[in-house]
Amino acid sequence: GQLRLMDGPNAWSGRLEICRNNVWGTICDMGWGWDDARVACRQLGFPAGGEAVEGGWFPNATESSPIHYSNVTCLGYETALASCLLPNRSTSCNHKYDAGVICANPA
């Protein structure tokens, strides 16, 4: 799954979106933590890692956008989010819980 950051103030932070079956969607922040953000930032090209932020930090995705996963579980050493445990989204999740990251500024 490709990753991208959306609606952040710069190129290294924003709402995290993942492509699944050629459709971009979000990740629910249930269980979203530091190790998950570290892996996501590494995959995005920020090797120093980053910080996990919960929904509401960045603008929510539109309601037509799917929520692909929740309770993502990374150990922190993976090179891509697809190598982590990616359970399907919880039915109780909505876009106000979209996970985000603030990756370490490369400058």
The confidence band for 100, taking pLDDT boundaries of 50, 70 and 90, is very high
Query: How many CA atoms within 13 Å lie on the side-chain side of 33?
Result: 9
Tell me how far apart the alpha carbons of residues 49 and 19 are, in angstroms, rounded to a whole number: 21
| CB-CB contact of 103 with 62 (8 Å) | no
The confidence band for 59, taking pLDDT boundaries of 50, 70 and 90, is confident
pLDDT tens by residue, 10-54: 999 999 999 989 999 999 988 899 999 999 999 999 988 889 998
* pTM check: above 0.85: yes
Tell me how far apart the alpha carbons of residues 98 and 14 are, in angstroms, rounded to a whole number: 10
Six-digit token string for 31: 């269980």
Instruction: Work out how many domains the chain is built from and give that number.
Output: 1
Instruction: Tell me which residue range forms the domain holding 80.
Output: 3-103
pLDDT score, position 89: 64
**Going by C-beta distance under 8 Å and a sequence separation of 6 or more, which residues neighbour residue 15?**
5, 6, 7, 8, 26, 58, 59, 60, 61, 98, 99, 100
Question: Which CATH number is 61's domain given?
Answer: 3.10.250.10
